[in-house]
Each structure stands twice: as structure tokens, then as C-alpha cells.
């Protein structure tokens, strides 16, 4: 295939409008959430606004921000990760949304609670305990606080307040971070959830906490305000972990969330091309769409020849073509594709892909994480 034909194919596939709730997107390209830690005191500044606006101007259809801490003492583990509460931080986020909209983009904050992955004594609130469904860390033996029913209510309220704030600040939707072994995912995973009440037990019961957050957020925002839910099988440092060993188990997990008000599932995988279950080529996003009928976002090493852990370990990610991605999207296996490192490396990645300028794409090494550009 000539470069001209490849460019036309990419444009035909990716420049298709798509709707999420009341949000109309101009194309299928999403900026994946990536923690950057460039918000001193948890407040995003003009540099953060410019960072996201550059990606919007570069052709990204939807931006999902880095994870932002909800208003709960134990939600965070860094004072440089932005928070989504407090007048100063919300003013900063309002400016971010305005900058992205001025560049003709759409943007959603990712709402986050780290749970048991919080480092003891870490900011932003040093004396806040590490909390989780059963006080069990992902690895190691350092126990934390097992959440009471009152604690659960407090965290649900924190997510709900943040969702309402997002709409008030002019954002286009929200994403709930239910992946990678953080608090919501700690309830979902049997390794970290050993509860014997209604929030523990089988996969459907372990979904209750997440479902109640979704339902509460759904009530707190307008009916057509999109709610995305990010999920994963893998966890930080537990890359072989699985919530669901079969399509039936995945359906039992996703169905209550869909019914509670999720508009789209953002299915985090390290390599988007890998099948999720034996006997089918569908990846995790493909299965989520098939089982729920909801929109799905796929992600994982798009346009690069390695996955993100290898970059953190010092190996440069070289540019690779996206033929395999286009094939899956042509058959509508999933609806949207999230781009992480490639967009961190180059704010014009989308424009270059869509207009046949792939010769201008460059490899990405760990040094690219050192600045906000």
C-alpha cells in the first residue's frame, strides 16, 4: 500500500464522527490519561492548559486528563498530581477546559482515588491512612485501613461531588478510574477484596462499590453528560492479574456498571492487538462492546513497537505502522482508540497520522517524560 493510500485509509477510518451521550466528537482519536506531576500543590497551571490545548489543536478528538484526586484525605500520594477539588484547583481546571475548547477540542477529567497504593506518610495529607476494601495491599505485607460502610459512603460522595464540579467547570464528561489496582479496582479484584458483606464475594458483588459510584455520579450530572469507566485486567506490578477468566465473568462484571449509567468503557490493555480470551480475536474493548452494547475505547502501544513498561525501563519505543489498528476499527470491533506515549511525545501525532506525514513521527524514550511539552 502506498503512503497516499495508507493516509486515505487512516483518514477514512479515524475521521468518523462519534457521539457519547450529548457529546459529538469529530473523530475516533482519544488522548489517554497519563500522570505527569506538573501541578505543584495539586493546582494545574497555564502550562498544563497549554499542554492539553496543543493536543486538541493537533487533531485529537477527545482528551482524557491525567488522574485527578477526588476530595478524600486518602485519595492521593503526591502533591504534584492535580486534585479535582478546592477553589484554586477548580479554577485551574476551568482554564484548562477553556483552553481546550478554544482549540476546538473536547476534554474530560479522570477522577481518581489511589486506595492502598498510597505511600504511608505521603502528601498531600501526610497523616491520612492507606485505605482499601480489606486493607490489603496489591503486594507486600504492609496492611492498611479496612473501609467501613461510612468510609465507603464518604468516597462515593467525593466522586459524586467531583463529577458535578466537572460539569460546572465546563468539561465535556468524566472518566472514573476503575483500573490498574487503584481503589475502585481494589474492590473489583478478589486478591484485594476479602470482604464478607455486600461489597465482597463473587464478581457481581465486588462490583457494587463501582456501580454505586457510577449511579451517584449519573444523578449528579445532566442526563446526557457522558460517564466513562476505565477498567483493566492487569494491575500495577501484577501484569497477569485478571478480573474475568471468561466472557461470562466479564459480562457479570460489566452489566451492572452499564445499567448504572456508564456511557463507554475504556478498556486498558498493554497491547491492543492481543486477544482477551481463547477462541476469539476480540480484544478486551471488543468483548466489552459485544457483551454490553456500550461504546468502548481501546488502548495499548498504538504506533509503537513496545509497551510502556519497557520505556520506563529505558528502551526507546520505535515508530510502527497502524495497519492492525485500522483493520480492527474498520470492522467496528471497538469505537474509539486512545493514544498515550505517542501523543506525549508529539502533540501533532493525530494530524500527522491523518494527513500522511508519518515520516515525521519520531521514537519516544524515557527523557520525553521529563518535561511538559
Three cell numbers, residue 33: 490519561
Residue 162 confidence (pLDDT) above 70 = yes
Percentage, residues of the chain above pLDDT 70:
96
Instruction: Give the pLDDT score at 1.
Output: 47
Q: Nearest to residue 70, comparing CAs of 82, 80, 81, 84?
A: 84
Count Cα neighbours of 198 within 13 Å in the Cβ-side half-sphere.
7
pLDDT of residue 197: 98
Higher local confidence (pLDDT), 339 or 317: 339
User: Smallest Cα–Cα separation from 190: which of 238, 153, 229?
Assistant: 238
Q: Which helix (H) or strand (E) holds 350?
A: helix 349-354
Name the percent of the chain lying above pLDDT 90.
Answer: 86
| Dist. CA 204–CA 207, nearest whole Å | 5
Tell me the C-alpha distance between 93 and 48, whole Å.
9
Tell me, what's the pLDDT at 369? 79
Q: Indicate the pLDDT class of residue 189, thresholds 50, 70 and 90.
A: very high
* Catalytic (active site) residue 182: yes
| pLDDT beyond 60 at 165 | yes
Q: What average pLDDT does the segment 128-140 reach?
A: 94
Helix, strand, or coil here: 108? strand
Phi, psi dihedrals of residue 259, rounded to the nearest 5°: -65, -30
Looking at residue 71, its pLDDT comes to 98
Residue 54 CA to residue 346 CA, distance in Å, equals 10
Q: Which of 208, 299, 213 is nearest to 255 (CA)?
A: 208
Higher pLDDT, 55 or 363: 55
Confidence of residue 188 (pLDDT cuts 50, 70, 90): very high
pLDDT category at 192 given cuts 50, 70, 90 is very high
Collect all residues with Cβ–Cβ distance below 8 Å to 39 and sequence separation of at least 6: 45, 48, 80, 81, 82, 89, 92
Question: In this model, does residue 4 exceed pLDDT 70?
Answer: no
Check 51, 52, 182, 199 and give the catalytic one. Answer: 182
Q: How confident is the model at residue 364 (pLDDT cuts 50, 70, 90)?
A: confident
pTM value?
Answer: 0.96
Q: So what's the pLDDT on residue 214?
A: 99
What mean pLDDT do residues 63-73 have?
A: 98
Lowest mean pLDDT among 254-258, 281-285, 300-304: 300-304
Amino acid at each position: 500500500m502506498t503512503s497516499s493510500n495508507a493516509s486515505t485509509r487512516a483518514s477514512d477510518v479515524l475521521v468518523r464522527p462519534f457521539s457519547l451521550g450529548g457529546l459529538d466528537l469529530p473523530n475516533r482519536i482519544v488522548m489517554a490519561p497519563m500522570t505527569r506531576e506538573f501541578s505543584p500543590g495539586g493546582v494545574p497551571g497555564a502550562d498544563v492548559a497549554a499542554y492539553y490545548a496543543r493536543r486538541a489543536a493537533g487533531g485529537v478528538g477527545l482528551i482524557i486528563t491525567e488522574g485527578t484526586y477526588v476530595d478524600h484525605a486518602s485519595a492521593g500520594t503526591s502533591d504534584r498530581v492535580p486534585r479535582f477539588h478546592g477553589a484554586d484547583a477548580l479554577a485551574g481546571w476551568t482554564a484548562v477546559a477553556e483552553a481546550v475548547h478554544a482549540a476546538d477540542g473536547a476534554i474530560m477529567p479522570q477522577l481518581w482515588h489511589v486506595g492502598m497504593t498510597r505511600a504511608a506518610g505521603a502528601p498531600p495529607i501526610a497523616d491520612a491512612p492507606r485505605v482499601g476494601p480489606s486493607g490489603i495491599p496489591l503486594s507486600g505485607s504492609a496492611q492498611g485501613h479496612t473501609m467501613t460502610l461510612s468510609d465507603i459512603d464518604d468516597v462515593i460522595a467525593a466522586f459524586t461531588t467531583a463529577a458535578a464540579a466537572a460539569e460546572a467547570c465546563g468539561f465535556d464528561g468524566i472518566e472514573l478510574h476503575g483500573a490498574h489496582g487503584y481503589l475502585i479496582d481494589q474492590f473489583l479484584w478478589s486478591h484485594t477484596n476479602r470482604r464478607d458483606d455486600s461489597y465482597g464475594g463473587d464478581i457481581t458483588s465486588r462490583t457494587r462499590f463501582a456501580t454505586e459510584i457510577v449511579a451517584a455520579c449519573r444523578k449528579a450530572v445532566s442526563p446526557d453528560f457522558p460517564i466513562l469507566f476505565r477498567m483493566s485486567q492487569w494491575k500495577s506490578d501484577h501484569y497477569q492479574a485478571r478480573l474475568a477468566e471468561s466472557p461470562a465473568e466479564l459480562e457479570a462484571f460489566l452489566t451492572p456498571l452499564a445499567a448504572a449509567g456508564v456511557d463507554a468503557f475504556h478498556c486498558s490493555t498493554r497491547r491492543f492487538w492481543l486477544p482477551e480470551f481463547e477462541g476469539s480475536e476480540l480484544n478486551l474493548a471488543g468483548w466489552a462492546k459485544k457483551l454490553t452494547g456500550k461504546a468502548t475505547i481501546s488502548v495499548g502501544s498504538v504506533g509503537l513497537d513496545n509497551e510502556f513498561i519497557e520505556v520506563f525501563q529505558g528502551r526507546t519505543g520505535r515508530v510502527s505502522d497502524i495497519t492492525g489498528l485500522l483493520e480492527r476499527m474498520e470492522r467496528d470491533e471497538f469505537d474509539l482508540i486512545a493514544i498515550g506515549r505517542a501523543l506525549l511525545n508529539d502533540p501533532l501525532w493525530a494530524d500527522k497520522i491523518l494527513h500522511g506525514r508519518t515520516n515525521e513521527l519520531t521514537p519516544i524514550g524515557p527523557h520525553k517524560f521529563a518535561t511538559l511539552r
